[in-house]
Amino acid sequence: MAGESFKAELLAPAGDFETALAAFSQGADAVYCGLADYSARAYAKNFSFPELKELIRYSHANGKKVYVTFNTIIDEAQMPSAIEILAKLEDANPDGIIVQDLGVAAIARRFFPRLELHASTQLVAHNLEGVLALKELGFKRVVLAREMTKEEISSIVKRCGTEIECFIHGALCYSISGLCLYSAIERNRSGNRGKCAYCCRQAFCAKEGDNLILPFSMKDLRLGTKARVLQELGVKSLKIEGRMKSPLYVASVTKYYRDILDGKAPSVREQDLETVFSRRTTSLYFDGRTKEADVIDTQSTGHLGTPIGIVKRITLDRQGRRWLRFKTSRALEKHDGLQFVSDEAAHPRGFGIDGMRRAISRSNVFTVGANEDIEVELPQERELDITPGETIYCAMSGEMKRRFPVPGFRPSDWPGDKKINIVFSISGNFAKAKFTLLDGSGIEVASSFEGDFEKAKNPALTKEACRKAFSRLGKTDYSLQDFSLSDPEGLFIPPAILNEMRRAGVERLDEARENSIREKIGIASSSKNDTSISNNEKPQPKKRLKIRLGDEIKGQGFDEIIALLPSRQEIEKRNIWPQDKSWRLALGVFNEEAKFNNLRSLVKKLLREGFVKWEVSDLATLRLLKSLGVEDITADWTLYAFNSSALEELSALGVRRFVASPENNAGNILDLANNCKYEIEFLARISTPLFISLNKSALTGNLDEIKVYESNGLWITVKEEPQTFDLPQDVPLRYDYSWDFPIEE
C-alpha cells in the first residue's frame, strides 16, 4: 500500500456547508462534519439533515467523500434518539461515521450495516493491540492518538490490516484525547460530549504570586512537509483539525497540504497560514518521544499571526497622532491586522491598519511592499502600550482573503445521491414505471397510468423521450442510473403523463424510505437485550479498594483490593513485586507500542505465578488478557461504558464487572444502578485525573488547589481534595486511591 504511487486521502474539517465547499475547492478528498447532536464539537455550526444530504449530493457527484462525526459518549436515556439518528444517517449515505461510544458502534453494526464505522481518536488507539481490537469490533478505519511517533505509526500500518487515519495539522489537547475530565468535572461541560470548555487554554494563578500562567496550553500541530512521510508509510487518511475554524482557514490549510502531498512547492507559505490563524507550532512526537518536548506555549492561547518586524520607535506628528515605525518583511495593505504579544498570559493587543505611509513620506498609501521601512498610524481612540523592540505580527491579510473566495452551490446543479433504475412498460392502455433504489435497501415502488394511448408517429424516439422525462429529478434525492423501456406496440405517452408518473414514483420512494427508517428504528429499539434486573436478582453490594501497587492500603473491610501495576522496570526498581494472589491486578491506560511486548511479558509472568484476577483500562489490554486465556476481567471507568449497549458489547468480549465513570450524571447513575443486569461499581471516592497527558506542563510549582505529578510516564493533574459522590443506596462501591498525588517518601 505504501510507496510513491500511493496517494493518501486529504481530510479537511467542515463546521458548516460553506467551509466544506471551501475545502473541496482547494483539493480536499474528503471532509468530516457533525450533526447538531452527538458531535465532539457541539459549538460548531454543524449540519442539519437536509444540509448533510446536499453536501453528500455535491461530494459524490465530484468524486469526494463525507464522514459524519458521532463521536460522543451516550447516556442510557439518549439511546432512543441516537438510534433514530443512526437510521437517518444510513439513509443519508455518508461514506462513514466516526464513533467513540462502543454501544453506538454495536447498534450501527447490527442494525445499520450500510454505515461504515471509523474509530474516533477519543477511543485512544495508540498501539497495534488497540487497533486490532477495534478492527475486530467492525471498525474499518482507526484514527490514531495524536501522540504517536512515525516509527509507531509505521509499525501499526504494516501489521494491522485496516485503514489508519492520522492528524497532521491543528489544535492539540494537553490531555490524551478521550482521557480529559477537567472540563466535565470542573465546568460541567464534558469534552466527551462535545462541550469542552478548553480548560487547558485557561490562565491560572500561581500560589506564590498573582502572575497568570498558561501551564497546559499546547502549541498547534503542524507537520508540514512531514505529512508526505505518512503518505509514504501508507497511512490512508491525513486529517486537518478545525471544525470550529473559518472557511478561509480550512481553504488555505487544505491548499497548503494538497501541494505538499502532490509533491509540489506549497503555493501557500507557512507565514501566509499564520495570518489566517496560528498559534506557535510543534510536530509533537512525530520524530520521537522525548520527555522534555517543547510543546507548551506559556504566552498565548489564541491567534498569534506571523512575525513581520520589530518596533523601532513611536513618533508623534504635529496633529498629535502616534505612528509606529518598523521595517516590514511582508507586503501590507490598508485594513490588514497587526498584533502584539504580552509578556504575561493575556490576550494580545492589536488593531487594523487605517493609515500607513513609507517612512520617508508623509503621504498615506494603500499598499507597501516587503522589506520597506514604514509607519502605521496607531489608533487614537485607545492607548496601546507598545515599546521599541517588540515583535509585530500580521494577524489578518486582505490579500489572503481574496485568494480564497467562497465557492457557490445550487443543489439543482448536482444530481441526487440516490441512484435509481426505472423499468417502464407500456401495454395496451396501461403504463407502469417500476423504481428500484440502488443503495442496498431493497426498496422498490411503482407508479402507473391507465388511458387510451395512440400509436407513436416515430416509435424510434419514444425511449429517449421517456428516459428524458423520468430523468428530470431536479432537487430530489435521486438520479437516474439506468432506464429500460418495453413498448411492443409502439405507443405514445404524452409528456404530462410521464411527468405525473415520475412525481408519483418519487413520492412513493420518499414514503418507502421513511417507512424503512421507522421500521429499522423500531427493530433496533425493541431488539435491544433486556438489561433490567429485579431487586431480588441484584448481588449483595460490595466495597472495593483500588491503590497503586506498593502504596499503603487505606482503611479496612474491603471485599477486594485492586492494585494498579506500574512498569516492570518500576516494580523491580522499587522491589514491590505482587505477593497477595487474592488481589486483582490492574493494567494502565496508556501503553506505548514500543513497550507493549514488555507488558505482555510481565502479564505472562504474573499469570504463571497464579494471579488470575485482572482489570483493564482500554481495549488493547482487554485483548491482551483474552489472548492469554484470562477469564476473570473487570473494566475500569476509562472504557466509558455509559449505556447498556456498551456494557453488552464489553461483556461479550469477556468483561465481568464495570466501574462507572466519574463523569456520569445523576440520572445516568440511577439508570445504571436500577435498570441494568451488569454488575457496576460506583465511585465513592477518587482523586479524579483531570488531565492524563504525555506532556509535562510548564508548572514551576503547584497551582491553587491543583497538583501535577508524573506516574509511569504519564503526567497526571488532580485537585488537592478528592472527589466524592452522592450515590443511590445499596450499590457496589469503589474507593479509588490510585490517582492520588503521591506522598513523598
Q: What is the pLDDT of residues 45-69, one digit of tens each?
A: 789 999 999 999 999 999 999 999 9
What's the rounded mean pLDDT across residues 350-362?
Answer: 93
Task: For residue 594, give the nearest of 336, 254, 289 by alpha carbon.
Answer: 289
Residues 6+ apart with CB under 8 A from 296: 214, 215, 216, 217, 218, 219, 695, 696, 697, 698
Provide the Cα torsion 403, 409, 415, 416; round to 10°.
Answer: 120
Of residues 3 and 541, more confidently modeled: 541
The helix/strand/coil state of 112 is: coil
Q: In the numeric block, which cell numbers belong to residue 291?
A: 520527555
pLDDT of residue 691: 96
Q: What share of residues in the chain are helix, strand, coil (percent, to 5)?
A: 30, 25, 45
pLDDT tier at 43, thresholds 50, 70, 90: low
Amino acid 46: pLDDT: 81
Q: What is the DSSP string of 666-732?
A: HHHHHHHHHS-SSEEEEEEEE---SEEESS----SSPBTTEEEEEETTEEEEEESSPEE----SS--
CA distance 79 to 103: 9
Rounded-to-integer distance, Cα 512 and Cα 193, Å = 33
Distances (CA, A) of 371 to 50, 329, 331, 400: 50, 5, 8, 19
Q: What is the pLDDT of residue 698?
A: 86
CATH architecture entry for 543-687+722-736: Alpha-Beta Barrel (3.20)
Distance CA 76, CA 670 (A): 10
| Angle of the 17-25 helix axis to the 247-261 helix axis, nearest 10 | 30
Task: Enumerate the β-bridge partners of residue 296.
Answer: 218
Note the pLDDT of residue 432. Answer: 97
Cα–Cα distance, 18 to 645 (Å, whole number): 36
H or E stretch including 597?
Answer: helix 596-608
What integer pLDDT is reported at residue 6 of this predicted model?
86
The grid cell for 306 is 506571523
Task: Find the mean pLDDT for residues 539-546.
Answer: 89
Q: DSSP secondary structure string, 551-586?
A: SPPPSS--SEEEEE---HHHHHHHT-----TTSEEE
Average pLDDT for 539-554: 91
As a whole number of angstroms, the distance between CA 51 and CA 36 comes to 11
- Whether residue 64 contacts residue 28, with contact meaning beta carbons closer than 8 Å, is answered with yes
Q: Residue 152's closest CA among 220, 233, 219?
A: 233
pLDDT score for 2: 52
The whole-model pTM stands at 0.94
What is residue 344's predicted lDDT score, i.e. its pLDDT? 57
Give me the pLDDT at residue 39, please.
Answer: 73
- Tell me: pLDDT of 553 over 50: yes
- Report, as an integer, the average pLDDT of 558-563: 97
CA 506 to chain centre: 36
User: What pLDDT digit, counting tens, does each position of 120-149 carry?
Assistant: 999 999 999 999 999 999 999 999 999 999
Q: Could you tell me the pLDDT band of residue 745, with boundaries at 50, 70 and 90? A: very low
Confidence band (pLDDT; 50, 70, 90) for 210?
Answer: low
Percent of the chain scored above 70 by pLDDT? 94
Q: Label residue 289 by pLDDT band (50, 70, 90).
A: confident
Task: Check pLDDT > 50 for residue 628.
Answer: yes
Q: What is the pLDDT of residues 328-341, one digit of tens each?
A: 999 999 999 999 98
Dihedral angle, C-alpha 433, 437, 443, 449, nearest 10 °: -10
Whose cell is 480564497? That residue is: 404
- Tell me which H or E stretch contains 253: helix 247-261
Kind and range of the H or E run holding 152 = helix 150-160
Check residue 534 and give its pLDDT. Answer: 52
* Dist. CA 181–CA 102, nearest whole Å: 19
Confidence band for 362, pLDDT divided at 50, 70 and 90: confident
User: What's the number of CA atoms in the CB half-sphere (13 Å) around residue 649?
Assistant: 24
Residues in contact with 19: Cβ distance below 8 Å, sequence separation at least 6, in sequence order: 13, 31, 245, 246, 247, 250
Long-range pairs for 504-509 at CB < 8 Å and ≥24 separation?
A: 504/447, 505/422, 505/433, 505/435, 505/445, 505/446, 505/447, 506/435, 506/473, 506/476, 506/478, 508/435, 508/445, 508/446, 508/447, 509/420, 509/435, 509/437, 509/443, 509/445, 509/478
Cell numbers given for 341:
504579544
Say how many C-beta atoms besides its own lie within 10 A of residue 533's C-beta.
Answer: 15
CB atoms within 10 A of CB 698: 14
DSSP code per residue over 46-64: -B-HHHHHHHHHHHHHTT-
C-alpha to C-alpha distances, 310 to 375, 387, 392, 512, 626, nearest whole angstrom: 12, 10, 6, 67, 61
CA 411 from chain center: how many Å? Answer: 28
pLDDT at 209: 57
Among 151-165, 192-206, 510-524, which is the least confidently predicted range? Answer: 192-206
Domain ranges of the chain: 9-172+221-282, 306-403, 418-526, 543-687+722-736
User: Are the C-beta atoms of 400 and 336 separated by less than 8 Å?
Assistant: no
Query: Given a cut of 90, is residue 703 above it in pLDDT?
Result: no
> Lowest-pLDDT range, 406-410, 570-574, 699-703?
699-703
pLDDT of residue 597: 94
Poorest-pLDDT segment among 36-40, 373-377, 487-491, 577-581: 36-40
Hey, do 306-403 and 543-687+722-736 end up sharing a CATH topology, with the first three levels equal?
Answer: no
295-299, 519-523, 636-640: range with lowest mean pLDDT: 295-299
Average pLDDT over residues 428-435: 95
C-alpha cell belonging to residue 200: 487547558
Q: How confident is the model at residue 533 (pLDDT cuts 50, 70, 90)?
A: low
pLDDT of residue 175: 96
Instruction: Provide the pLDDT for residue 539.
Output: 66
Q: Side chain identity at 592, as an amino acid letter?
A: E
List pLDDT tens digits, range 238-280.
999 999 999 999 999 999 999 999 999 999 999 999 999 999 9
Q: Average per-residue pLDDT in the chain?
A: 92
Q: Quick check: 123 and 178 in contact, CB under 8 A?
A: yes
Count the alpha carbons within 13 Å of 415 in the hemisphere toward its beta carbon: 14
Is there a contact between 447 and 505 (Cβ–Cβ < 8 Å)?
Answer: yes
pLDDT bucket at 711, cuts 50 / 70 / 90 = very high
Residue pair 131/159 in contact by the 8 Å Cβ criterion = no
Q: How far apart are CA 451 and CA 493, in angstroms?
A: 10
User: Which CATH superfamily does the domain covering 9-172+221-282 fall into?
Assistant: Aldolase class I (3.20.20.70)
Q: Quick check: 540 pLDDT over 90? A: no
Angle of helix 79-92 relative to helix 49-61, nearest 10 degrees? 30
* Residue 511 near residue 91, CB atoms below 8 Å: no
Checking if the pLDDT of 536 tops 70, the result is: no
CATH classification of 306-403 is 3.40.50.880, yes or no?
A: no
